[in-house]
Chains A and B, each alone.
Chain A
């Protein structure tokens, strides 16, 4: 089965360590809320703002999700200390999408998937199947791998914080984007590859359509 998705808007952001300009004071005015947000949540909120999406269905993906919270928890257990409740509630894979839903009081279906290096690919398939219902859907993927001692396990990713968002809807028009593999010279996480390829081809002066093979 093939489903064509029109890419209505895209946003992409990455940094080798920590993305600096996420406009949090503007996007999340309440300090009490802002202080609880994880890095992935901040990136997701920033990207949703950039593609002008507030209310509707959100499909979120991440291979490793909330690594900073997970690393904090593991270190505290190792050191025989109590776990921070905030770290625990922020360690679930759907944290970023949930904070995004709370910020805009978005009560729609919000899903989180995690499929390792195939996360972007599966997110596009999920989004395409959901989009058959006719609504505009937000696809977001993030990785936040900037934790102390990550070099002990990371030997191939240069950009430790990355996020990509696509706002999509189903179309019957022909595809004009493709997945021709380009060399990933940026060394972003593989889990973001397919979304990154699409975002790189996006041209706001034309219709942007990609064929998703299920």
Chain B
């Protein structure tokens, strides 16, 4: 790909179970302050540890509020010259669930508020965008949305792109992951030998990507995509797809594995993901860069995870602080450099991994603006 322009994260806004703003989230990550709680309300009274947003507002009202907040922080007055790219795995499924479980039929379901495009439809009631589309690749949805934002800016097609990573807790996702036997009843322990599974969570993460940097911007330097072509829900045990995505991201960023200071792992806390990802990291990076998963604090926000963790990578670079792992007592793979405390050091580049059902992989590299 010919790079005409660089892509910068210039403004962000977010809400998740562990913070209604970026500063609170970063503080909670660094102080191991998790808000993931056991909840039995989502699926047949079965307890699962979930990351629910604590807000007085309706979830989709918070979506509008977060976009307004981002607009106020940005150098834009509106989104009329901005491409909207949504990344979501479930879209409006919670709206459908409310109607269907109340009425027992589909009659009052509005198809426009069921599918992934629900998010764009709701946003367009409040804002005007230049154009818009939605990516839905399960847990890589907003990572892929960010990747596409990088591509359209790099190719000189757009100057401003609003990426929204968003997923709401629903009975479908909680019950679905329970059916797969991968949910933990306690806050997750990514990369721990005794990990018990993941925590489903919800989040809204808004990121403005622009072709010109502003104060405290971070560059989105490279993107790597791959497909495992292996299994619908299990990654290749050696993490071959994950490794390939990271290699391609390094190649596009024109840096080497030695340049990476920190890896924000996909690190869901499931047996299959963490061992495969650790193998991929070990194979490509050895034990040089620090590694952590922040999902023990945010939970797994599914389609929003890529955007949430992009914001975390920006905070890490802005604060020049690598965060500790939470709940990690005994690491399974001892050949990767999992952090056990917060580390203040020079950080030039971070990489963020997102992997999904279907073997869909996306790695994003963020760098200090030079």
**Interface set of A (CB-CB < 8 Å, partner B):** 1, 36, 63-65, 70, 73-74, 77-78, 80, 82-85, 88-95, 97-99, 101-102, 104-116, 118, 122, 125-126, 129-130, 132-133, 149-150, 152-153, 214
Is residue B231 contacting chain A, with contact meaning CB distance below 8 A? yes
Whole-angstrom distance between the Cβ of B334 and the nearest chain A Cβ: 29
Which residues of chain A come closer than 8 Å to B18, judged between CB atoms?
none
Number of A-B contacts (CB under 8 A): 172
Whole-angstrom distance between the Cβ of A133 and the nearest chain B Cβ: 6
Task: Check if A98 sits within 8 Å of B232, measured CB to CB.
Answer: yes
Task: Check if B358 sits within 8 Å of A94, measured CB to CB.
Answer: yes
Contact A126 to B148, CB < 8 A, known contacts A73-B176, A153-B106: yes
Task: Check if A101 sits within 8 Å of B100, measured CB to CB.
Answer: no
Task: Check if A74 sits within 8 Å of B100, measured CB to CB.
Answer: yes
Task: Check if B175 sits within 8 Å of A77, measured CB to CB.
Answer: yes
| Docked complex Cα distance between A73 and B171 (Å) | 9
Is residue B117 contacting chain A, with contact meaning CB distance below 8 A? yes
Which residues of chain A come closer than 8 Å to B96, judged between CB atoms?
74
Kindly report which residue of chain A lies nearest to residue B151, judged by CB atoms: A129
A and B contact pairs by CB, cutoff 8 A, 17 listed: A63-B115, A63-B117, A70-B172, A74-B97, A74-B100, A77-B175, A89-B357, A93-B116, A94-B136, A95-B357, A102-B232, A104-B229, A106-B229, A113-B135, A115-B133, A118-B133, A129-B151
Kindly report which residue of chain A lies nearest to residue B44, judged by CB atoms: A80
| Docked complex Cα distance between A25 and B255 (Å) | 46
| Docked complex Cα distance between A115 and B121 (Å) | 9
Which residues of chain B come closer than 8 Å to A132, judged between CB atoms?
1, 155
| Docked complex Cα distance between A214 and B132 (Å) | 11
Is residue B256 contacting chain A, with contact meaning CB distance below 8 A? no
User: Beta-carbon contacts of B216-247 to A below 8 Å, as 1s and 0s?
Assistant: 00000000011111111100000001001000
Is residue B178 contacting chain A, with contact meaning CB distance below 8 A? yes
Task: Check if A102 sits within 8 Å of B43, measured CB to CB.
Answer: no
Contact A116 to B121, CB < 8 A, known contacts A77-B43, A80-B44, A88-B180: yes
Is residue B272 contacting chain A, with contact meaning CB distance below 8 A? no
Which residues of chain B come closer than 8 Å to A111, judged between CB atoms?
135, 137, 144, 148, 225
| Docked complex Cα distance between A112 and B121 (Å) | 18
Which residues of chain B come closer than 8 Å to A113, judged between CB atoms?
133-136
Partner pick for B134 among A104, A115, A149, CB 8 A cutoff: A115
Is residue B356 contacting chain A, with contact meaning CB distance below 8 A? yes
Which residues of chain A come closer than 8 Å to B107, judged between CB atoms?
152-153
| Docked complex Cα distance between A93 and B359 (Å) | 13
Is residue B157 contacting chain A, with contact meaning CB distance below 8 A? yes
Kindly report which residue of chain B lies nearest to residue A103, judged by CB atoms: B229
Which residues of chain B come closer than 8 Å to A126, judged between CB atoms?
133, 148
Which residues of chain A come closer than 8 Å to B244, judged between CB atoms?
107
Is residue B160 contacting chain A, with contact meaning CB distance below 8 A? no
